[in-house]
Amino acid sequence: MPLFNRIASVIVEGSGSSVEITKLRFVFSIEKTKTSTQNILKLQIYNLSSDTSAKIQEKDSTIILKVGYLDDVGLEVIFSGSITRVTPHIDFPHTILSIESGDGMERLREARSNISNSEGVSVNQILSQLSDDLGVVVKDITTEIQEIFNSGFSFIGPTKQAIDDIAQQFGLDWSIQDGELQILKAGDTNSDRISFISKDTGMIGSPELIVSDAQVLQAAASGDPKYKVETLMNAKIRPTNEVQIESIPISGNFIINSVKHNGDTHGDTWSTVMEVKGL
C-alpha cells in the first residue's frame, strides 16, 4: 500500500457551473461521528484567483473534497456537503478563502414530513418513508427491526426530528456520511469493506486507551474500552466502519465511533485519527 505522493482536489458546484482546484494549498479539518449531528469541514484555500473565489461564494453551493495518493488508488471522496460560510481574508502575502461546510446540511435543515399511517405499520416502513422525504442517497438501513406501531404513526414537522425520535425509541444510530444516509442498530457496522490497520498500512504510533472521564474509565474496567488510533490520511475511514487492527497493545476487529481528518497539502499535517471500540 504505497502511501506516497499525496494528492488532493476541491470541487465546488454552484448554480449551473462547477470549479475544480488541485494545485493550490489546502489546509483542512474534518470531524465525523456516527450520530445525527452533522459532520463538519473547515477548509482554507490559499491564493485563489478573484474569479474562482467569486464562484465559490455563490449561494447554495456544495463542496466535495477528495484526497489520496498518486501511487495508490488516486483521489477518493473524504467529504461532501453544503457550504454554510465563506470568509475571505489576507495573511500577507497570501489571500485565504475560509470555507465551512456541513454534510447533508441543506436537507437536514429543509426536509419536512407529513405522515399518517394506520395501526400495524412497521418501523422499517416509516423509516423508508422518512428517508424518501429526506431526499438523500440511502446507503444502509437496518432490516433487523421487527417492531410495529400498534396505534399507527403520525408526524408533521422536520424529518430529522422524526428520525431522531424513532432512533431514540428503538436504539438506532443514524447519520449522513458524505451525502449518504445510514440507519443502523446501535453498535452495528455499516456495509463498507473491512479496512486493515497496521504499521504496514500507515498506522502512526500505537493505539492509545482513551481515559478522559469517569465513564470511560468504568468502560475500560468492564472490558469495553475505547482507543484512539492514528494513521496516515485515509478517506475510506468513516464512522460505523469495521476495522481490523494489528498492533502491540490491541489486535482484533473494532467499530469506528468517530473520525477526525487533518491535512495541509503543502505542510506536514496529513493524518486520520479515529476512536474505536471492540466488537
Q: Which fold has domain 195-278?
A: Elongation Factor Tu (Ef-tu); domain 3 (2.40.30)
pLDDT tens string 66-110: 999 987 778 999 999 999 999 999 989 999 999 999 988 788 888
The C-alpha atoms of residue 147 and residue 153 are separated, in whole angstroms, by 12
Q: Enter the pTM of the model.
A: 0.88
- Tally: H helices and E strands in the chain: 5, 20
Q: What is the CATH number of domain 6-103?
A: 2.30.300.10
Span 190-230, pLDDT tens digits: 888 889 999 999 999 999 988 765 555 555 555 578 899 99
Phi, psi of 173 (to 5 degrees): -110, 130
Residue indicated by cell numbers 422518512:
130
Q: Is the pLDDT of residue 53 over 80?
A: yes
38 contacts 104 by C-beta, under 8 angstroms: yes
- Domains of the chain: which residue ranges? 6-103, 110-185, 195-278
Q: Which element (helix H / strand E) includes 170?
A: helix 159-170
CATH of 110-185, one of 3.75.10.10, 3.40.1360.10, 3.40.50.150, 3.55.50.30: 3.55.50.30
